Amino acid sequence: MTGSETRSVPPAGRIAVLLPYPLAGAYDYAVVEGPAPAPGTFVLAPLGPRRVIGVVWGSGDGAVADDRLKPLHGALEVPPMPAVQRRFIDWVAHYTMSPPGAVLKMALSGSGLPESPRPVLVYRRSDRPWPAGLKVTPARRRVLAVFDHVPALTLADLSREAGCGQAVVRGLAEAGVLDGTPVAQTALAPVPDWTRPGPTLSPDQAAAAATLRRMLDADGFSVTLLDGVTGSGKTEVYLEAVATCLARGRQVLVLLPEIALGAQWLDRFARRFGVAPHTWHSDMTAARRHETWHAVAQGLSRIVVGARSALFLPFPDLGLIVVDEEHDAGFKQDDGVIYHARDMAVVRAHLAGIPVVLASATPSLETVTNVEASRYGRIVLPHRHGGAVLPDIALVDLRTEPPGREQWLGPRLRSALAEALAAGEQAMLFLNRRGYAPLTLCRACGHQLRCPQCAAWLVEHRLRRRRLCHHCGHVVPQTDRCPACGETGVLHACGPGVERIAEEAAALFPHARALLLTSDTLHGPASVAEAVRRITQQEVDLVIGTQVVAKGHHFPMLTLVGVVDADLGLSGGDLRAAERTYQLLHQVAGRAGRAERPGRVLLQSYQPDHPVMVALADGDRDHFLALESGERQAMGWPPFGRLVALIVSGTDEPLVDEVSTTLGRVAPRSDRVDVLGPAPAPLALLRGRHRRRLLLRAERGIAVQTVVARWLEAVTVPSKVRVQIDVDPYSFL
Ligand code: ADP
Ligand code: ZN
């Protein structure tokens, strides 16, 4: 610190400021003039040679002497961060054992601060009479018609809405028919019209909506599981609660798994409320994020529909949170601050004293257990809307009805496909594996093509003519020469990915119009929307896809779903493997027969006696959950016990081993806590880093954070080794 920056300040002029960096905690700064900014104020503060943004977190703790404090640079013109959000950040930091600054960083992500959004020019219809002789061309008429629905739009939005060039809009402005005025971008926040009538609800749905409204009336924290079969109208029901909350003038947050943030959901919202909601996900431009963040902070944005990170937006007056598809693993963030958005949504709601609704056809065992313990309420919608029946699910035993050599569609699935296509109906083939083949083997020398940086095979992506590591993205061009023995024409693709299934289907049904949907063929919401449109308008006969096709979509003409390899998710050491397989396959099956025509699902499996398969075929979810629950309870696994994973990683393998062995040796052990490992992680090498895992298992009532903190204090970790803490792990790779 230089002498010129050092000031003597009275103790009253000291405040703590949290900076968006993974530091130990808030830093003290001196307030040089004027009153101390209130907690929550966004300020600029010196950090080393830089000026960084921070948030006033409280009064300073006095650890730094007054005369060594650095002065604050000043406050920003942004609404202060609400107290509830500051408490939330502290809570998440404590729970996930992350530095509070790292959580703050997530909360500021996309804000663009310290910049504030620049004003933009919007056009309105002017009140003045039109100039005499104005030529009203069809394009001009379309522009004017746009204002029947919206008061003002930017140049780009207006020309897009009207389907004309920007010159048409400018021409109308020059003619005095439109007025251009600069406004803060946030003023563009669309206001949903909650007075518009929703659909007429069935008695079940109406009762469910009434229960949710009661939760809102009760004005306090509550968690309600909206437990309804696929197509039962869960979305329609929670949109009623959304309308109620909007009518009260409070903000709403709807969390969806990223993948479900599709055009269909947004269209539905727009049909219900007349405008598109604000969205928040990874696939947004910086400008859009910036604008949305500030619209939320100013309370102008009434509703945000977003992926998990939307939970950290600075809502000043949140009145309701909905977590749709609450069981979805996509709610767990697995790097940086490792958190589960569903669980943290419940915490956020608790801190704010508001209701949270968890919706799913296949609720997680965590949530079901909370319902059974009466911590959460439950509303059940047992029937599909409009008399659509649940699809008939049949198991195909691949041991007795195997597909041909180098084929993956067995005889029964083949004839079902032929029938559906002949009847002019749509069919879907599901395999949750991207690419053409998961393994390439040299027939001459037996070499397996592996990623040099990960303990993983390279997956062949034939469409893009390359082989790819699904863990680190390492790419090698597709060749037919073995990199080990140099022979050509000997590389053999083992096993199927969706691309290979598409190839097999094309050979079987050359006239069917097939559409391959995976994250490799879909790039962003627009291409998802286009795919959905093509399917809905029956430009497609056969959909072949990975889990991107499993969720949320409503395709009325789809009557057959074939699951190519139902066992795929069951192997591996994941304690939730059975539960997840059940959920995913149930979701996929739920795509079939959603309208008048009944649906049928074929599950190809080598383990048709597995409880997951039996439960799917019998439609007996609750029996499956009871079995699963019994097993977890016996083992002390979640939700009956608590887990914390430590992942030790580094490029220096002996050093990684040394640290993990030490951690294992000093691990806390008692009759209520045990530690498994260290063991090489299933992905023992990832991006060139060697990885070892330890797993702490504790009884439910144990404050695992305290136990882990003490454990780590006992070990000195060299800077070349990283120890990642994952509280409530969902991934065991
Ligand atoms: P879920 O979310 O439970 O899968 P949805 O809310 O998506 O179910 O409803 C399934 C389909 O039925 C959607 O197309 C939806 O618009 C329609 N639907 C549900 N309830 C009604 C209703 N009361 N009136 C009209 N259509 C409805
Ligand atoms: Zn790799």
| 170: CB partners within 8 A, 6+ apart | 155
CB 430 within 8 A of CB 562: yes
Decide which of 124 and 233 is more confident.
Answer: 233
Name the CATH topology of 13-108.
Answer: GIY-YIG endonuclease (3.40.1440)
In this predicted structure, what is the pLDDT of residue 184? 65
Q: Retrieve residue 308's tokens.
A: 């998990």
Phi, psi (deg, nearest 5) at residue 260: -85, -5
In this predicted structure, what is the pLDDT of residue 597? 79
* Dist CA 474 CA 431 (whole Å): 23
Pocket test for ligand 1, best of 234, 235, 326, 362 (most atoms within 8 A of CB): 235
Residue 428 CA to ligand 1 centre (angstroms): 21
Q: Give the residue among 688, 694, 695 at the shortest CA–CA distance from 653.
A: 688
Confidence of residue 4 (pLDDT cuts 50, 70, 90): very low
The dihedral formed by the CA atoms of 575, 580, 581 and 582, expressed in degrees to the nearest 10: 110
Total Cβ atoms within 10 A of residue 181: 11
82, 253, 303, 304, 641 from 320: Cα distances, Å: 16, 6, 10, 11, 30
Residue ID of nearest Cα to ligand 1 atom 25 = 199
Rounded to 5°, the CA angle 231-232-236 comes to 95
* Dist CA 416 CA 543 (whole Å): 14
CB 361 within 8 A of CB 379: no
Residue written as tokens 């060749």? 479
In this predicted structure, what is the pLDDT of residue 6? 43
Which numbered ligand comes closest to the C-alpha of 472?
Answer: 2
Residue ID of nearest Cα to ligand 1 atom 15 = 233
Which numbered ligand comes closest to the C-alpha of 458?
Answer: 2
Residue written as tokens 């431009």? 285
Query: Which atom number of ligand 1 is nearest to the Cα of residue 235?
Result: 6
Mean pLDDT computed over every residue of the chain: 90
Specify the CATH number of the domain 119-184.
Answer: 1.10.10.10
Q: Give the residue among 718, 726, 732, 713 at the shortest CA–CA distance from 652.
A: 718
- Residue 288 burial (10 A CB sphere; 0-12, 13-18, 19+): middle
Which numbered ligand comes closest to the C-alpha of 451?
Answer: 2
* Dist CA 296 CA 280 (whole Å): 11
Encode pLDDT of 645-698 as tens digits. Answer: 999 999 999 999 999 999 999 999 999 999 998 999 888 999 999 999 999 999
Residue ID of nearest Cα to ligand 1 atom 19 = 233
In this predicted structure, what is the pLDDT of residue 187? 57
Angle between helix 100-108 and 83-96 (nearest 10): 130
Confidence of residue 542 (pLDDT cuts 50, 70, 90): very high
In this predicted structure, what is the pLDDT of residue 259? 62
CB 364 within 8 A of CB 624: no
Domain coordinates in residue numbering, the chain: 13-108, 119-184, 203-386, 388-433+496-629, 641-727
* Dist CA 391 CA 592 (whole Å): 6
* DSSP characters over 71-124: BP-EE-SSPPPPHHHHHHHHHHHHHHT--HHHHHHHHHTTS-TTS-PPPEEEEE
* Dist CA 50 CA 192 (whole Å): 42
Residue ID of nearest Cα to ligand 1 atom 24 = 199
Encode pLDDT of 182-223 as tens digits. Answer: 766 655 667 788 889 889 999 999 999 999 999 999 989 999
In this predicted structure, what is the pLDDT of residue 1? 36
Residue 440 CA to ligand 2 centre (angstroms): 15
Query: Which atom number of ligand 1 is nearest to the Cα of residue 228?
Result: 3
Is pLDDT of 273 > 50? yes
Helices (H), 109-217: 138-146, 155-162, 166-174, 203-217
> How much is the CA Rg of the chain, to the nearest whole Å?
28
Residue 565 CA to ligand 2 centre (angstroms): 25
Which residues are near ligand 1 (CB < 6 Å)? 199-202, 205, 228, 230-236, 385, 554
Specify the CATH number of the domain 388-433+496-629.
Answer: 3.40.50.300
3-state secondary structure of 327: coil
% of the chain residues with pLDDT over 90: 65
The dihedral formed by the CA atoms of 171, 176, 180 and 181, expressed in degrees to the nearest 10: 170
* Dist CA 512 CA 518 (whole Å): 19
Residue 234 CA to ligand 2 centre (angstroms): 40
Residue 591 CA to ligand 1 centre (angstroms): 13
Fold agreement between 119-184 and 388-433+496-629: no
Q: Retrieve residue 118's tokens.
A: 């620049």
Which numbered ligand comes closest to the C-alpha of 456?
Answer: 2
Residue 688 CA to ligand 2 centre (angstroms): 8
Q: Give the residue among 549, 561, 616, 551 at the shortest CA–CA distance from 593.
A: 561
Encode pLDDT of 360-400 as tens digits. Answer: 999 999 999 999 999 999 999 999 888 777 789 999 999 99
* CATH number, domain 641-727, options 3.30.70.600, 3.40.50.360, 3.20.20.70, 3.40.50.300: 3.30.70.600
Which numbered ligand comes closest to the C-alpha of 453?
Answer: 2
Residue 455 CA to ligand 2 centre (angstroms): 7
Encode pLDDT of 294-348 as tens digits. Answer: 889 988 889 999 999 999 999 999 999 999 999 998 999 998 999 999 999 999 9
Query: Which atom number of ligand 1 is nearest to the Cα of residue 324?
Result: 2
Residue written as tokens 């944005």? 301
* CATH number, domain 203-386, options 3.20.20.70, 3.40.50.300, 1.10.10.10, 3.90.550.10: 3.40.50.300
Residue 635 CA to ligand 2 centre (angstroms): 33
* Dist CA 71 CA 30 (whole Å): 5
* Dist CA 149 CA 151 (whole Å): 7
CB 456 within 8 A of CB 445: no
